[in-house]
Structure 1
Amino acid sequence: MIAKRWMRRWIPGLLTAGVLAGAAGCSTPPAPRAAPGPTAVSVTAGPVPARSAPAAPPATAEPCPSGGVRLVEMEGNAAMGLRVADFQLVNCGDQPYALEGYPQLSLRDDRNEAVPVAVEHGAAGITTGASNLDEAPRPVTLAPGQAASFGMVWRNLVTDSAVPAATARIVEVEPRPGAPRLWLRLAAPVDLGNSGRLGLGPWRPMTR
């Protein structure tokens, strides 16, 4: 009898303890602490791009020579030893420029020494069919900005091995009597061989 009363007292206590223990074991664990946010990273700005240098100003145009005109080498032609070259005279001044007849022309070599050459008016004896060289001269007046041209022809011949071949790389032109002479280094040299002759055409107005 005593044993039954003891069991009745002990079992409820045991159940209560078990329930409490179970409750303690099954309770929801506290929420974990929030993970720390990403550590702030100090971002160092990269090198500041250099400012673009201002564009260089356009090259200043070549000043107009004191005589008010400029000599320009034009495209030439060479075939079977026959050479043809053309030159342009541009009025770069602010006054009209009058021309007549033929330019006065001389040649120089790399050492700036005169190259002996017989300059003849027209192309007679050097070639045929060069109408621009053989036409009659006429007066030409250039307004500012306008241009005139003249041509010349020669043959690159070596007929005497005892005579050195002549090559001119500089041309000097006096556009009209008494005018300042114009000096021009040539892109295409005048290779005369030892022929010693050059045909020269008159001034002609340039047409556009």
Structure 2
Amino acid sequence: MITRRWVRGVVGGAVAAGLLAGAAGCETPPAPKAAPGRTGAPKKTPAPSRSPTPTSTPSAPASPAAPEPVPEPCPEGGVRLVEGSGDGVMGLRLEGYRLVNCGTDEYVLEGYPQVRLLDKQDQLLEVAIGHGSAPITSEVPAVDAPPERVTLAPGQTASMALLWRDRITDVTVPPVEGWVLEVTPKPGAPRLGLRLTRPVDLGNTGQLGVGPWKR
């Protein structure tokens, strides 16, 4: 009995020792250390330098240039008739008109122009046309000056004046208005026509005074 218990004790101890040794050999190995990493923040590669892009301010679209006025061709004969300034007091009218040498040669004037009046429908008006201010009014220098010889170089201008009175003497007779002035500057020259912006309003007097050409 004693021997068996000793053997059991020896065997049991040996088994226990073997289990302890096996348990010691089966321990989980420690986890491997992490590989050494980079220290500090990662370095950034500098971007290539670029030249600054100029900022342009958008400009408003250019407005189209206004077309230049086309000059009127010079009429046949080398002169052009132009409406001038006027004056009117108590129904008495005095209007000036200019003759411009638009040609390339000298233009010679002497004496009085030949004048006609037309209405709005371009119909010839019956008007008594004379030289000077009588019998319309007393002396008017622009109309009663003596005629003289006038020589116009290219680009130069001469003038003449018309005198009339806007008066109604008979209510049964319709008033007369001239809206187109026709002028023959000198004998044999082409007749010039000018549509007026201010009429020659004769009333029903039917009389028109013409002055000579002046420089």
TM bucket by the smaller chain? 0.7 to 0.9
Q: TM-score, normalised by structure 2?
A: 0.70
Question: What is aligned with 2:105?
Answer: 95
Matches for 1:165-176 after TM superposition, within 5 Å? 165-176=175-186
Question: What is aligned with 1:194?
Answer: 204
**RMSD of aligned residue pairs (Cα, Å):** 1.8
Matches for 1:37-186 after TM superposition, within 5 Å? 51-186=61-196
What does the per-residue CA deviation read over 1:149-194, in whole Å, with 9 as the maximum and x for residues that have no partner? 0001100111112221111111000001111111111111001011
Which amino acid in the other structure matches residue 88 of structure 2?
Answer: A
2:62 partner SS: coil
Which amino acid in the other structure matches residue 97 of structure 1?
Answer: Y
2:85 partner SS: coil
Which amino acid in the other structure matches residue 157 of structure 2?
Answer: A
**How far apart, in 2, do the equivalents of 1:135 and 1:84 lie?**
14
Gaps (5+ residues) in structure 1? 1-47
Larger Rg: 2
Which amino acid in the other structure matches residue 60 of structure 1?
Answer: V
Which amino acid in the other structure matches residue 83 of structure 1?
Answer: R
Mean Cα displacement is larger for which, 71-80 or 124-133? 124-133
Aligned length: 160
**How far apart, in 2, do the equivalents of 1:74 and 1:132 lie?**
14
Q: Could you tell me how far 1:49 is from its partner in structure 2?
A: 6.7
**How far apart, in 1, do the equivalents of 2:67 and 2:166 lie?**
44
Q: Could you tell me how far 1:76 is from its partner in structure 2?
A: 0.4
**How far apart, in 2, do the equivalents of 1:101 and 1:124 lie?**
17
1:132 partner SS: helix
Which amino acid in the other structure matches residue 115 of structure 2?
Answer: L
Which amino acid in the other structure matches residue 117 of structure 2?
Answer: L
**How far apart, in 2, do the equivalents of 1:142 and 1:105 lie?**
20
